[in-house]
Amino acid sequence: MEIKILEKDVNHIRFLIKGVETPIVNALRRIMIAEVPTMAIEDVVIIENSSPMKDETLAHRLGLIPLKTDLDSYILPAICSCQSDLGCNKCSVTFTLDAETTDSPRTVYSKELKSDDLEIVPYSGDIPLLKLASGQKVRLEAYAKLGRGTTHAKWQPVSACTYRHSPTVRIDIEKCDLCEKCIKSCTKQILKKENKKIVLVNSDICDLCEECIKSCPTEGIQINKQVYIFKIESVGSLTPERIVIEAVKILNTKLDTIISQVSSFKKEKTV
Ligand SMILES: [Zn+2]
């Protein structure tokens, strides 16, 4: 297997994976979307809310704020020994919001949420939460916990996580008799004749229909399908690299579980 990073910045990564089967690549994509944990607000205690926004709507909106996540300091509530509704300092972070206006109407933003852990804060402080008119007030406590996208999309670490094939088309010049049947059969028109040779124009748009292989009378075309380009966009909770690393760890754990279960099954059979 070969991995090459093509592009990387704070929230995006684009890399090439070569030499693995599609089910493995797809398993990684699904784990990144649904199983890599992040922190999100789960419980909200509204102490006072005289704004026009209903408590439920405000709580839902708070839940959708991407929070910077520290996977090394917190654990999932399901495995925490406290087993309490609002959690403990190992599985929960408390936020408070105390906002009011006495003169002109104003918008309350995510930066006004005060966290008891300075590492776990909204990824952006500029997310509008609600509007307050003169004399209105909102006071609340919110509890953020680790969770997985499979439970609720607010825990998804990625806003985009896709891969596409980037096949390598190889034309064997020894076998090619320049009949041009492959050029005519290609619906994406990625092949052309140049200097008495069949050349590739743009393999990125190849959709793997394999019409060129079928049309070639001399079997002079080969396609390596096991090349993929992954594109990941983080919502800001975790770095894109950390999302990939965590997904690989989860996949490994799943494979280890399968191996140990199959081995114990084999032992039972032998006994
Ligand atoms: Zn706990």
Q: Which domain holds residue 52?
A: 38-155
Gap from CA of 42 to ligand 1 centroid (Å): 14
Say how far apart CA 174 and CA 197 lie, in whole Å: 11
Please indicate, yes or no, if residue 148 is contained in any of the structural domains: yes
Gap from CA of 40 to ligand 1 centroid (Å): 15
The pLDDT value recorded for residue 210 is 87
Please indicate, yes or no, if residue 56 is contained in any of the structural domains: yes
Please indicate, yes or no, if residue 240 is contained in any of the structural domains: no
Mean model confidence pLDDT for the chain? 92
Gap from CA of 4 to ligand 1 centroid (Å): 39
Q: What is the DSSP letter of 9?
A: -
Gap from CA of 184 to ligand 1 centroid (Å): 64
For 86-117, write each residue's pLDDT tens digit.
899 999 999 999 999 988 999 999 999 999 99
Gap from CA of 146 to ligand 1 centroid (Å): 11
Residue 52 CB coordination number (10 Å): 11
Q: Contact 270/262 with Cβ under 8 angstroms?
A: no
Q: What is the DSSP string of 115-166?
A: ESSTTS-BS-TT-EEEEE-TT-EEEEEEEEEEE-TTT-GGG-SEEEEEEEE-
Gap from CA of 79 to ligand 1 centroid (Å): 8
Please indicate, yes or no, if residue 119 is contained in any of the structural domains: yes
Mean pLDDT confidence for 132-160: 96
Please indicate, yes or no, if residue 90 is contained in any of the structural domains: yes
Q: What is the DSSP letter of 17?
A: E
Gap from CA of 212 to ligand 1 centroid (Å): 59
Burial class of residue 116 (count of CB atoms within 10 Å of its CB; 0-12, 13-18, 19+): exposed
Gap from CA of 87 to ligand 1 centroid (Å): 4
Mean pLDDT confidence for 239-264: 94
Q: At 19, is the secondary structure helix, strand, or coil?
A: coil
Give the C-alpha distances (Å, rounded to integers) separating 224 from 6, 21, 122, 132, 193. 19, 11, 44, 59, 21
Please indicate, yes or no, if residue 81 is contained in any of the structural domains: yes
Gap from CA of 119 to ligand 1 centroid (Å): 18
Mean pLDDT confidence for 5-33: 94
Gap from CA of 31 to ligand 1 centroid (Å): 24
What single letter denotes the amino acid at residue 245?
I
For 215-235, write each residue's pLDDT tens digit.
999 888 888 888 899 999 999
Q: At 205, is the secondary structure helix, strand, or coil?
A: helix
| DSSP strand pairing (191-194 vs 197-200) | antiparallel
Gap from CA of 85 to ligand 1 centroid (Å): 9
The pLDDT value recorded for residue 244 is 95
Gap from CA of 202 to ligand 1 centroid (Å): 53
Gap from CA of 229 to ligand 1 centroid (Å): 39
Please indicate, yes or no, if residue 252 is contained in any of the structural domains: no
In this structure, what CATH number is given to the domain that contains residue 74?
2.170.120.12
Counting the structural domains of the chain, the total is 1
Q: At 117, is the secondary structure helix, strand, or coil?
A: coil
Please indicate, yes or no, if residue 84 is contained in any of the structural domains: yes
Q: Contact 141/47 with Cβ under 8 angstroms?
A: yes
Residue 173 CB coordination number (10 Å): 11
Gap from CA of 154 to ligand 1 centroid (Å): 20
Of 13-17, 36-40, 220-224, 266-270, the poorest mean pLDDT is in 266-270
Mean pLDDT confidence for 185-199: 87
The pLDDT value recorded for residue 271 is 62
Say how far apart CA 132 and CA 49 lie, in whole Å: 10
